[in-house]
Structure 1
Amino acid sequence: MGFFEKIFGTYSDRELKKIIPMVDKIESYDEKFKNLSDEELKNKTFEFKELIKEGKALDDILPEAFAVCREASWRVLGMKHFREQLMGGIVLHQGRIAEMKTGEGKTLVATLPAYLNALEGNGVHVVTVNDYLAKRDRDQMSELYGFLGLTTGVIVHDLDNDQRREAYNSDITYGTNNEFGFDYLRDNMVIYREERVQRDLHFCIVDEVDSILIDEARTPLIISGEGDKSTDFYKVADFFAKSLSEDDYTVDEKTNSVILTDVGVQKAEKFFHIENYADADNMQVQHHVVQALKANYTMKRDKDYMVKDNEVIIVDEFTGRLMEGRRYSDGLHQAIEAKEGVEIQKESKTLATITFQNYFRMYTKLSGMTGTAQTEENEFREIYGLDVIVLPTHKPIARIDSSDLIYKSEKAKFKAIVNEIEETNKKGQPVLVGTVSIEKSELLSDMLKRRGVPHQVLNAKYHEKEAEIVSGAGEKGRVTIATNMAGRGTDIKLGEGVSDVGGLKVIGTERHESRRIDNQLRGRSGRQGDPGNSRFYVSLEDDLMRIFGSERLQGIVEKLGLSDEDAIESKMVTGAIENAQRKVEGNNFDVRKTVLKYDDVMNQQREVIYKQRAQVLEGESLQEYVQDMIEDVIVSAVDAHMTGLEDDLEKDIQKLIAYLEEIYLPKGLTTVEELKLLSDDEIKEKLVKIAKDMYAEKEEHFGSEQIREIERVVLLRVVDTKWMAHIDDMEHLKQGIGLRAYRQQDPTQAYQFEGSDMFDAMIENIKIDTIKYLFHVQIERAPERERVVKETSTNQPGDVSLKKEPIRRKEEKVGRNDLCPCGSGKKYKNCCGKEL
């Protein structure tokens, strides 16, 4: 603590002092509300809603509303929020992050701001890290909300659109970050307004906010369609990678990359029968080789991914949980599938994507809670505009945190850990052992089995039992091995007599890259004043020490002349480890900032496209917009083709007419001779008039209502098609843009400028294609919207394919057994003949 903080207190201390009077006010209602009947207490909700309608701010009714929620909680759940929880509720309502230690009742804290903000009627989202916690929290708290006249919903994996819509229309909706994000993307891909499920993003409380907004921020959400690239090359590249010796490649563990040595490059040229591996013509070979090398030499089974039911599933590096439905991008997932000999899925085509940073920043008000946020306070403030308030615990922490024990070898370290577990288990004290990977969990489990120590293993393989296993980790004599963050959100209560033997002992088998994850593990012990202790065991062979530990630290340990069995316990060494962690945290923050810088460019473009889609879906007339597009397309075409050089005038006009004939102009409607007598402005005026007159005839033919509907469908299809292609183009640009640094050019700035030019070109192409399809669309009879959509959606996702020819009728002498003239390849009686 610095000199300033010693005198004036920490930032959190100063902010909490401002909150105390409000907490006192809430508690002052206690006696009054105790004496209300259930019906009178319930009616308070309607009173608050009326006050809000009359213009009262939420802050004005906060003390009374919190007090109502508190009293209702006592009556319904048998739990009354204590002062620290009231503070936490106020912090969340203010749109900040409340750091509350494990076991301080964060789920109950969230009910206070959720109830208050739900009174506005715009919906409140409570986000958790997995389906189990979302269901559990909704089930626990829906009784309270129901008593107060509010509805609750939950968004989990296997819901249909009607169920999702109903859940989002509830006053308070629980769900996971993935589901909320994917629903947002899907809502911006629909053709009908009625198909959307989410409302506007109003107020959000993120539970385990560090896990969701920090740890998962490097991986964007992506909705994919199947691509059309062959998967055979992945098998060939994998065969090549497996044939290499250690002299053929070098692994950089800090950047998690693998590159071929000169010898390896020569082998690649010989293997793939190419002259120059580095040649731009061999980009595809390079791409597949790089991914095969990464899959084989940096991606580890049961650490980075698992193979389950013949499928490669990503393992979350922080939680050890399976990330169902998520795939590594840019062909890495396919390379791992080739490595593991499972079916290789086709490379996907990105249909929609967004980062969690940009998704959550769209909420009008965002807040969060966790046991560990302060170490990432700068990132929360810089990226999300959130400050972190550390709340005091309800009871003083009684847990004893011992200094790290450092060993020379990993083998000696694990032997010491097993000895410690065995000794602790003999006296009945429960032990929770945190590991950094599934692989290490299973190694430790095998060692304990050989010693005959009964234990349970909790990792991604047993996700379904996660909460059940963790909740029992405090029982007497229990030994639980878990990946560091597994079971997060589940309370560990001490069993009978456990306090007498020292409470829960937490053992960390390795320091994590992030101090926050270590703090989270420690925090599993010492809940609400319970006794407990914690210690981390470290070896010089651990990844953190080996890759990021300083040479000075290694030298100190060597000078001490440690044998394999010896350990040192030193505050200086522990401090050096924390410095290494700070370095890694800084690197990771830079990575996330870079991801965000790139996505910010896409986000501005995404907002333009999604806003346009929303206007179309809301049924706004596109008549004026289409007329403007017609004019824009023609004016741009004339400007582009008329060079102003007299010698080439006829040629320019010929090219202009040919170009416009592809879009809308019937052949022979105007000639070179007519146009060459006119000025450029007169040419524009004439061509625009022809186009608008033609379109007016089309509108008269279809009817105004029907042409407006066709305009909507066509524009949506074209926008979606172009946007999907643009996402791919931007991804390719991003992959190559890093090389600009060699030209002393900022890659992110170059990405912004070039991405902006690409976006402008896309907007222009949207106009051209929309006009083209609108002028060519012909339907035999005025269709219902469903028919139009059917005719536009028979091709691959995003393809626009309105019929350009009317469907032939029976009188045109098409036999029932002839091939249908619409081009479907079916017999007429089984195709268009069905409509006769």
Structure 2
Amino acid sequence: MLGIGALARKVFGTPNDRKVKSVQPLVAKINALEPEFAALSDEGIIAKTRAFQKRVQEQGEDLDDLLPEAFANCREAARRALGLRAFDVQLMGGIFLHQGNIAEMRTGEGKTLMATLPAYLNALAGKGVHVVTVNDYLAKRDAEWMGKVYGHLGLTTGVVYPYQEEQEKRGAYRADITYATNNELGFDYLRDNMKGSIEEMAQRGHFFAIVDEVDSILIDEARTPLIISGPSQDRSELYQKVDVLIPHLTEAHYKLDEKARNVTLTEEGNEAIETLLSQAGLLPEGQSLYDPESSTLVHHATQALKAHKLFTKDQQYIVRDGEVMLIDEFTGRMMRGRRLSDGLHQAIEAKEHVAIQPENVTLASVTFQNYFRLYAKLSGMTGTALTEADEFMEIYKLGVVEVPTNRPVQRKDEHDAVYRTAREKNEGIVKMIQEAHAKGQPILVGTTSIDKSESLSALLTAAGIPHNVLNARQHEQEAKIVADAGRLGAVTIATNMAGRGTDIQLGGNVEMKVLEEIAANPEAHPDEVRTRIEAEHADEKAKVIAAGGLFVLATERHESRRIDNQLRGRSGRQGDPGRSSFFLSLEDDLMRIFGSERLDKVLSSLGMKEGEAIVHPWVNKSLERAQAKVEGRNFDIRKQLLKFDDVMNDQRKAIFGQRMEIMEAEDLDEIARDMRHSVIDDLVDAYLPPKSYADHWNAQGLRLGIAEKLNLDLPVVDWAAEEGVDQDVMRKRITEASDAQMAQKEDAFGPETMRNIEKQLLLQTIDGKWRDHLLRLEHLRSVVGFRGYAQRDPLNEYKTEAFQLFEHMLDGLRQDVTQRLSMIRPITREEQAAMMAQIEAQQAAAQQQPEEESPPVIVSAPDAPVSAPQAERLAGFDESDLTTWGNPSRNDLCPCGSGEKFKHCHGRLA
């Protein structure tokens, strides 16, 4: 008998069914237009694009009204460029993306081609479309592959990748459709807001983004923010000395919480580490770990403990070429250039005895949540999103729509098999692989870490089963290994299959085989090679289908159901037959951490024999509940991160917006004048309190304050002694004197130079103050949690104090800009001639010195001018004091003695 909910769904359909049904009329319209667009010439397709652009950009036509024609034009262009005609389900998915939803489509249903439809439609607005991928390989591949479609439509395609030339990067962002990874987009946004002029900025706004593998990018990677940092003080020796002490600690000295991935010292552990630090000479005699002076040592000891107890080589990281490289737990790939913050990466480097890189200070940061919420419209596509639908809606206001498959799914999903021990499980896995391999069935074996994939590889080698291993060590051969995974009798072990980008096709990947054959034999005719390989492939595919299609065998459940579903979804693409099975043991991390005791009792009561497994739907249900708990906990972590980052995000927007206004402004005189007048108001209010009598004034203090902040020596004490003088009169006199001083400077420098100086000073001061503010917020964030012990809400405390710190930063900004502008002066021709002569003499002397005697060049931060050796600097030159710079023109040599032109060195607008 059907329940009420099931009965209602049968009568009214599910919400998803209604969404799919609602776009059927649009799909019918697109199909009705197909003959008209098929009759167009190649030039006619481009002419249609130009007509669409005119209708949107000049006539203001809505993109929704243009959708059927634009989709029909794009489908025809793809058919001609790639020989691929979009199915109706791909048209549906494209419509959902255009509407700002997440389209959930099974693996192999053609998401890459589907994305061209909404990308083309939205690119007609001329504001740029970003297609976001999970790695650089996919960004380049998809840009090249789908670029052929956009080329047929008369649009331009760009791709953004790490270490790209600035000019090329700006060109990529100015293309109609730009492919890039989420990391590069986020970092470019931060880098743009550290630039000194609009011309140097790469991105041109955030209009529309399509995020591929949206669950991986917006959920999995959203736990940690993107940070641009610069090196700070080197403490390598301290990390090494503390690292030596950790192996002396026993299990009684620390408490390990695997669920929360945290480790803390117990009371006994605190005493032990204090003794060890004292014996090592790191903790001064008479000083306790609880003293404020010991905070740095406590921090280092805690990070070293985490490095030893929470991070395992070949699981969370690998060591390659003397460098600790993190591994993405969701894709199994190395994350080149990514480092753990707060000294944890340095602690791991000390543990592995490799070169320790200096700690960094934050220059700019943003979370993925707040970056992607910048877009006017956001959409995404993946094979697995429904399990996180609530989070997508709550954080990003994105709905999830399940798009039907083009053909019915024929894959058989078996219940999980649970063994007592990992040894029994591995024996069962090898036996199952032997059985499937014997009949020629291709097998994809999923593991959760590098060491587990290599352990299983050793077992298969011992059993005489040929196989391939795909993990972070073999990432260069990724595409080939995945392309061959569907061949007859192939056995492939993979650490993870999220976002691999290459379909596993039964019988192997024809395109890959053709490319390999032509590369090996360049003399061969491509058409003949393709014809022969296609015939061979058809024969092999028939044998693979007879053997049961691709068998996905997972060796462990992941924390997230989505990762399991992604692995499972590799089998049964486009209506192919397939099979999936999960082999588990009570010693697996998920089972061990999240309550395997009850299950162990059940297995004991059943009297299971050695090597037997329990297979039952109840086991699947209990595992899904455990995974749902972990997913919920991770969601809470991300929500908490976002709540705190939202506080900073409002401030970030204000600062970045202010920088943009400054860069766009031609004349900053009014901003500088308002800042100066505010500083004068603050000085007068501080030393001449409102509604107070003259004999309560601190006129001498005001005189000294004016000298310091405004570089003016005014007879303030005499003015204060005059009859009838009040605060407003004093304020007016000081303001007039200050305005007159700045007018004289403008006459001396010239209006254009003065405006340039104001712009440089404002941007440099904002950037410096923002960096310091980020550091203060980091410190506040690390301690505010303790307020909970005093029954106060840490988040509210953070909001209040962060706002106070922001106000303090703005006050400091006004004072610094005013003070630095008041100090500058033009140098005379005689001073400039003497300076140039001194620079030339120093350069000549430097050239005569042996090369090895030259002091090292130190780079203090990304994109910052390189500091010159101190010996070559002009005497008295102070990088932080503009009054010592003189007044070089843009093409003069920089007074710092670097030998660079001023405009390329300290005169850069940065």
TM range (shorter): over 0.9
Cα pair 1:155 1:173 within 8 Å, conserved: yes
Cα distance, 1:10 vs structure 2: 2.0
> How far, CA to CA, are the matches of 2:368 and 2:765 in structure 1?
27
Cα distance, 1:801 vs structure 2: 2.4
- Name the SS for the 1:222 alignment partner: strand
User: Which amino acid is 2:765 matched to?
Assistant: V
Cα pair 1:550 1:580 within 8 Å, conserved: no
The match for 1:503 is 549
Cα pair 1:129 1:207 within 8 Å, conserved: yes
- Name the SS for the 2:307 alignment partner: helix
Aligned residue among 45, 51, 54 for 2:55: 51
Cα distance, 1:92 vs structure 2: 0.5
Q: Which string of whole-angstrom CA distances, capped at 9 and with x for unpartnered residues, describes residues 22-49 of structure 1?
A: 0000000112222222222221111111
Cα pair 1:793 1:800 within 8 Å, conserved: no
Q: Which string of whole-angstrom CA distances, capped at 9 and with x for unpartnered residues, describes residues 57-113 of structure 1?
A: 111110011011111111221111111000000000011100000000000000100
- For 1:810-821, list aligned pairs within 5 A: none
The match for 1:756 is 803
In structure 2, the CA distance between the partners of 1:38 and 1:433, relative to structure 1 (3 Å rule), is same
- For 1:17-96, list aligned pairs within 5 A: 17-52=21-56, 53-96=58-101
Cα pair 1:321 1:486 within 8 Å, conserved: no
Cα pair 2:498 2:563 within 8 Å, conserved: no
User: Which amino acid is 2:609 matched to?
Assistant: S
> How far, CA to CA, are the matches of 1:795 and 1:643 in structure 2?
45
User: Which amino acid is 1:559 matched to?
Assistant: S
In structure 2, the CA distance between the partners of 1:266 and 1:84, relative to structure 1 (3 Å rule), is same
Cα pair 1:794 1:801 within 8 Å, conserved: no
1:746 and 2:750 aligned: no
- Name the SS for the 2:26 alignment partner: helix
Cα pair 1:153 1:167 within 8 Å, conserved: yes
The match for 1:327 is 339
- For 1:399-414, list aligned pairs within 5 A: 399-414=411-426
1:256 and 2:261 aligned: yes
Q: Which string of whole-angstrom CA distances, capped at 9 and with x for unpartnered residues, describes residues 470-529 of structure 1?
A: 121101111100012356222110002211100000011100000011000000000000
Aligned residue among 697, 705, 710 for 2:757: 710
1:804 and 2:862 aligned: no
Cα pair 1:269 1:277 within 8 Å, conserved: yes
1:724 and 2:771 aligned: yes
Cα distance, 1:12 vs structure 2: 1.4
The match for 1:671 is 716
In structure 2, the CA distance between the partners of 1:645 and 1:192, relative to structure 1 (3 Å rule), is closer
> How far, CA to CA, are the matches of 2:896 and 2:108 in structure 1?
66
Q: Which string of whole-angstrom CA distances, capped at 9 and with x for unpartnered residues, describes residues 355-380 of structure 1?
A: 11111110111100000000000010
The match for 2:109 is 104
The match for 2:812 is 765
Cα pair 2:694 2:720 within 8 Å, conserved: no
Cα pair 1:664 1:775 within 8 Å, conserved: yes
Cα distance, 1:238 vs structure 2: 0.8
In structure 2, the CA distance between the partners of 1:556 and 1:155, relative to structure 1 (3 Å rule), is same
In structure 2, the CA distance between the partners of 1:76 and 1:781, relative to structure 1 (3 Å rule), is farther
User: Which amino acid is 2:228 matched to?
Assistant: I
User: Which amino acid is 2:719 matched to?
Assistant: E
- Name the SS for the 2:613 alignment partner: coil
Q: Mean alpha-carbon deviation: is it higher for 702-711 or for 556-565?
A: 556-565
Cα distance, 1:212 vs structure 2: 0.5
- Name the SS for the 2:256 alignment partner: strand
In structure 2, the CA distance between the partners of 1:7 and 1:620, relative to structure 1 (3 Å rule), is farther
In structure 2, the CA distance between the partners of 1:736 and 1:795, relative to structure 1 (3 Å rule), is farther
> How far, CA to CA, are the matches of 2:475 and 2:783 in structure 1?
39
In structure 2, the CA distance between the partners of 1:648 and 1:294, relative to structure 1 (3 Å rule), is farther
- For 1:103-502, list aligned pairs within 5 A: 103-273=108-278, 275-485=287-497, 488-495=500-507, 496=540, 497-502=543-548
Cα distance, 1:541 vs structure 2: 0.9
- Name the SS for the 1:804 alignment partner: helix
For structure 2, list consecutive stretches of 5 or more residues without a partner in the other structure: 508-539, 837-863, 869-877, 900-904, 906-910
> How far, CA to CA, are the matches of 2:896 and 2:193 in structure 1?
32
User: Which amino acid is 1:55 matched to?
Assistant: G
1:583 and 2:662 aligned: no
> How far, CA to CA, are the matches of 1:66 and 1:825 in structure 2?
56
Aligned residue among 801, 812, 822 for 1:775: 822
- Name the SS for the 2:486 alignment partner: coil
Cα pair 2:420 2:600 within 8 Å, conserved: no
Normalization by structure 1: what TM-score? 0.93
Aligned residue among 10, 13, 27 for 2:17: 13
* Count of matched residue positions in the alignment of Structure 1 and Structure 2: 807
Normalization by structure 2: what TM-score? 0.86
Cα distance, 1:800 vs structure 2: 6.4
The match for 2:587 is 541
- Name the SS for the 2:113 alignment partner: helix
The match for 2:705 is 659
Cα pair 2:315 2:449 within 8 Å, conserved: yes
The match for 1:513 is 559
Cα distance, 1:240 vs structure 2: 1.4
In structure 2, the CA distance between the partners of 1:650 and 1:673, relative to structure 1 (3 Å rule), is farther
Q: Which string of whole-angstrom CA distances, capped at 9 and with x for unpartnered residues, describes residues 253-295 of structure 1?
A: 1111112222221112212235532333321111111100000
The match for 1:815 is none
> How far, CA to CA, are the matches of 1:33 and 1:823 in structure 2?
64
> How far, CA to CA, are the matches of 2:127 and 2:24 in structure 1?
29
User: Which amino acid is 2:30 matched to?
Assistant: I
Cα pair 2:467 2:490 within 8 Å, conserved: yes
The match for 1:812 is none
In structure 2, the CA distance between the partners of 1:126 and 1:487, relative to structure 1 (3 Å rule), is closer
Q: Which string of whole-angstrom CA distances, capped at 9 and with x for unpartnered residues, describes residues 184-235 of structure 1?
A: 1111111122111111111100000001101100121111111124222211
Cα pair 2:825 2:886 within 8 Å, conserved: no
Cα pair 2:213 2:380 within 8 Å, conserved: yes
Cα distance, 1:675 vs structure 2: 2.5
- Name the SS for the 2:583 alignment partner: strand
Cα pair 1:208 1:489 within 8 Å, conserved: no
Cα distance, 1:181 vs structure 2: 1.0
The match for 2:513 is none
> How far, CA to CA, are the matches of 2:401 and 2:750 in structure 1?
61
In structure 2, the CA distance between the partners of 1:646 and 1:434, relative to structure 1 (3 Å rule), is same
User: Which amino acid is 2:377 matched to?
Assistant: K
Aligned residue among 668, 672, 675 for 1:626: 672
The match for 1:558 is 604
Structure 1 segments of 4+ aligned residues over 6 angstroms from their partners: 644-648, 820-826
- Name the SS for the 1:351 alignment partner: strand
1:617 and 2:667 aligned: no
Cα distance, 1:824 vs structure 2: 6.7
Cα pair 1:125 1:173 within 8 Å, conserved: yes
In structure 2, the CA distance between the partners of 1:629 and 1:458, relative to structure 1 (3 Å rule), is same
For structure 1, list consecutive stretches of 5 or more residues without a partner in the other structure: 810-819, 827-831
Cα distance, 1:352 vs structure 2: 0.9
Aligned CA-pair RMSD: 2.3
- Name the SS for the 1:325 alignment partner: coil
In structure 2, the CA distance between the partners of 1:684 and 1:672, relative to structure 1 (3 Å rule), is same
Q: Mean alpha-carbon deviation: is it higher for 461-470 or for 358-367?
A: 461-470
- Name the SS for the 2:48 alignment partner: helix
User: Which amino acid is 1:680 matched to?
Assistant: Q
